[in-house]
Amino acid sequence: MNPLILISPGMAAGLAICLILRFYWARCATRSNSGVWREPGARNEIYYVSAHAALGGGIGLLFWLSWGFTALVQLSWWQRGIIFGLANAIVFSALPLLISQSLLRSAQPLSRMILVESISTCIAASLACSWTWSHTL
């Protein structure tokens, strides 16, 4: 199986979550009268979208590389996707964020927003890759 078959849905899911979260954070910011956690601008938007697409593509590549995990046939595609997404979110998002928060003593709301974004991107990309894997073979 070609790895691009799984990298593409991962990137697409990362971009979709990026769009959904963008509207969600804008709605929360207007409700609480708090500003957005980063300044608006074309460069920041490109970084934001690129980070979500890269995370989704990386999840797709890891899903392709994990032949042993995808061989679990007792689980349905969505169970495999959620478990794989949560495992990646813990390893690549939660642990580094907790370590950096304890070292830098960053703001609690900012770290929660970043954690929500990374967990939702990991789970959405894993679900997309798992669905693609189950329907391709």
Question: Could you tell me which residue, 10 or 136, shows the higher pLDDT?
Answer: 10
Contact yes or no for 129/88 (Cβ under 8 A)? no
- Mean predicted confidence (pLDDT) in 51-70: 86
| pLDDT of residue 133 exceeding 90 | no
| pLDDT of residue 36 exceeding 50 | no
Task: Report percent pLDDT > 90 for the chain.
Answer: 29
> For position 33, what pLDDT does the model report?
47
Residue 5, sorted as left (phi over 0), alpha (psi -120 to 50) or beta, turns out to be: alpha
> For position 22, what pLDDT does the model report?
81
